[in-house]
Chains A and B, each alone.
Chain A
Amino acid sequence: EAGVVQSPRYKIIEKKQPVAFWCNPISGHNTLYWYRQNLGQGPELLIRYENEEAVDDSQLPKDRFSAERLKGVDSTLKIQPAELGDSAVYLCASSPGGRVTEAFFGQGTRLTVV
């Protein structure tokens, strides 16, 4: 069974440019998470989806970040415009749904904003 797939693995962009990350969760997993991980720190939740509904986006900087999960499967996270402080690893994870008994992570996208 395929795990959580993210692309791209690396992205380097200039500040003020847009960038998008893509995530394909494990088949059948209703819950999808986007986390941001700064260097040397633990991941912090940006947004959580239950199917296609964003149920927790309180930590998402909505002035520049947006996300969507069409049809409750794949998800895209976008930053526009990117700032230097957005340099981080962006992790996508999925779980079957309901309470968090286990979350499965993708390999993440390392974003560098120059």
Chain B
Amino acid sequence: AQTVTQSQPEMSVQEAETVTLSCTYDTSESDYYLFWYKQPPSRQMILVIRQEAYKQQNATENRFSVNFQKAAKSFSLKISDSQLGDAAMYFCAYGGTSYGKLTFGQGTILTVHP
């Protein structure tokens, strides 16, 4: 079974600074997707960024980028130029090809200080 681990229950960052959230996963599959979702207090899960395992190039979406290390099974999220609106719970998730579901980590609460 796939597992996703987020070892940082909480992180904080100053506005305009950079922060990195960590995620590791375990799988025996070779083809899969990895995701970072943001969940603000409104509870709406919002997709931040997605990485396809067979692509070596790290995904980037504006201020958000990932460091995908397939051999190490590591998938970190870097937020540059942090904004107050980035404050939320962030979840790392795994989507495999054998199992048509998303498996989530425990989440990291991100606080952004003005």
Contact = CB atoms under 8 A, between A and B. Distances in A.
A100 B45 contact: no
B102 interface: yes
Nearest to B9: A40
A57 to B, nearest CB: 11
B100 A48 contact: yes
A82 B46 CA distance: 29
Given A44-B104, A56-B100, A101 B42 contact: no
Interface in B54-83: none
13 contacts: A33-B102, A41-B106, A42-B4, A42-B91, A42-B93, A43-B91, A45-B102, A45-B103, A93-B45, A100-B102, A103-B102, A105-B37, A107-B42
Please provide the 7 A-B residue pairs with the shortest distance between their CB atoms, ordered closest to farther.
A100-B95, A42-B104, A105-B45, A108-B43, A99-B97, A107-B44, A45-B101
Interface of A: 31, 33, 40-45, 48, 50, 55-56, 89, 91, 93, 98-108, 110
